[in-house]
């Protein structure tokens, strides 16, 4: 019987501490869950960006195609350069 009274007294004396500790634990876990959810959203957004970039990279033309497309432009620029030199020499 003495042990029960001691326990009851301890609970009454420490009730506010127990309540505040319980509230603190609940708040801490809620904050952790919110942060984890936020990080999951950010991770998914980053994954989506990476997927889009990979798709863009995979759709880029290869070096030979670029060289074939740029060859006429390069020859045109060379001709313009020659014409400008001739014009400046006159």
Domains identified in the chain, total number: 2
The span from the CA of 40 to the CA of 46, in Å, is 10
What distances in angstroms separate CA 26 from CA 21, 31, 70, one per listed residue? 9, 9, 64
Q: 52 with 77, same domain?
A: no
Tens-place pLDDT, residues 10-21: 888 899 999 999
Q: Are residues 4 and 29 in the same domain?
A: yes
pLDDT digits (tens, 9 = 90+) for 31-75: 999 999 999 999 999 999 999 999 999 988 888 887 788 888 888
Residues 21 and 42 in one domain: yes
Residue 59 CB contacts under 8 Å (≥ 6 apart), including other chains = none
* Same domain membership, residue 46 and residue 69: no
Radius of gyration for the chain, computed over Cα atoms and rounded to the nearest angstrom: 37
């Amino acid at each position: 019987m003495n042990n029960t009274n001691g326990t009851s007294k301890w609970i009454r004396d420490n009730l506010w501490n127990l309540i505040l500790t319980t509230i603190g634990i609940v708040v801490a876990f809620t904050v952790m869950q919110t942060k984890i959810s936020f990080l999951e959203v950010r991770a998914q957004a980053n994954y989506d960006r990476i997927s889009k970039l990979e798709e863009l990279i995979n759709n880029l033309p290869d070096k030979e195609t670029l060289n074939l497309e740029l060859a006429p432009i390069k020859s045109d620029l060379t001709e313009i350069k020659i014409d400008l030199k001739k014009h400046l020499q006159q």
